[in-house]
Structure 1
Amino acid sequence: MSEKVLEIKNLFKSYGKRKIINDLNMTVFKGDVYGFLGANGEGKITTIRMITSLIRSDSGEILINEKSVIKNRDQAIKNIGAMVESPKFYETLSGYENLKLMAKLIDGTSDTDIDKLLELVGLKDRSKDKFASYSMGMKQRLGIANALLGNPDLIILDEPINGLDPYGMRDINELIVSLAKTSNKTFIISSHLLHEMEGICNRVGILHDGKLCIEGDVKKLVSENNVSNLEELFFDQVGGKNESINY
């Protein structure tokens, strides 16, 4: 049986009287590139913030490598690296300097580790250049490198290809797939770009009404639900006309 890197059980979160997450159950296995999908306002970011312990759930359980984020926070979240929303770095520092600054928060990260990460994400030749000079794709690459600091088992990326041109999308997608295969990392990718997610994810979960309406292997889900692709599966599950992929 595959090893569970993330397991969410009966998770709830409300703001006032509004239920955002309503009995969410979710499983991510080692080596997955897992697409966490849902329309705007469905609670993807809220869920990510609970997984990374930025906010607390009302009830339920979140386990990272069988360690509870709620009951054993420090041990659990040391296995997580995340890029939530747009990467935020100091404009006047170089890519290397920014990573070195972030690395001070993580025990055991050497200058050699930083050099290796920059090479891994394709920024070795631009590591000494100021962050302000980076293209959007380069900024995303640095954000991914930052998420990899400390060698976490689980990497969570929120909209990693949002705002990129087709070449940038292709490069970031290829980087994620390569890292998953060569480094045996597990990825959760939150995105509304369904066609792109179908190309890189082996498993997906679609969030709707505060819970996953469907979860599993992409190819099996498409086949079992008699649809042609992930986009059709999405609209089949959440409703709405199949007119746009911007969800």
Structure 2
Amino acid sequence: MSAVCTRGEELILVRGHARTVHGSTCFRQGGGEAVRAARPGVTCSFVKTSRVEWSRSAALWSDKPVTRSNDAGGTAPGRHRLVHRGWLERSVRDHAAMTLMDTLARVEADLAAGRIPMARQRLRGLVASFPQDLSLRRRLGEVYRLYGEPAEAGRWMYLEADRDPAETYAFEERYSTPLRRMRALAWRGPESLAGTAFAAQQLAAVQKAGSDHVGRPVAWAAIPLDRNGEPEDDRNSVADRLVGAGVAVVVLGFFAIWVVGFITFARWLWP
């Protein structure tokens, strides 16, 4: 399929509608396809694309009808909007900022009302969505401090220069290997996006330790399994192993008592 465009623009499809400006004439095609025009008056083809195709024109409503062809060769009038790249990018950023501010307001309301678990849950969601925002990590660490959980407070304050040494120690004890710490920090992207020199240094140090641990470079987006072929987070800690050993000793003790009792009863029954 093709269409004649009167401007040398690269148009965008939003929700399956071809957008136009200044009376350009183009097809309407399904979502995920875009219209290209190299120069005015050329024949444009619909191009399958998995990414967004942008226009250099400003975002505005076309006052003239847009002629949309169909498979039978007919046309249908319509009025659509051309979306400019900068406009849409700003819209996305504004929406994300509004969502962030709204959720933070809800967090503060939850804390004021004593709903600490709900505030923690909201902050965990924000950190997952905005992992490079150090202020969110700090706020989450403060909430865990209210819980009296120094290891988790140290986890989310780990990239802060004014972190509490006791909380940092508790975090490093709970997440005792470099790969576990990498996974616990839940960072995404290069360390240079950390925002502060201290945070970047900490992230680089943890990543280097993780790479040394497995003997090859480790990326934040692909933290590998440990040397035993198990997920690092699923490995038992020393305390867990001690508890398991204690349970085994108790079970063996009960079994031994049962055996001794059975032998004693048998000797009494058959002297």
For the criterion TM > 0.5, the same-fold answer is no
Name whichever structure is richer in strand by fraction: 1
TM-score range, shorter chain: under 0.3
* Higher helix proportion (structure 1 or 2): 2
Which structure has the higher relative contact order (CA within 8 Å, separation 6+)?
1
Q: With structure 2 as the length reference, what TM-score do the two structures score?
A: 0.22
Structure showing greater radius of gyration is 2
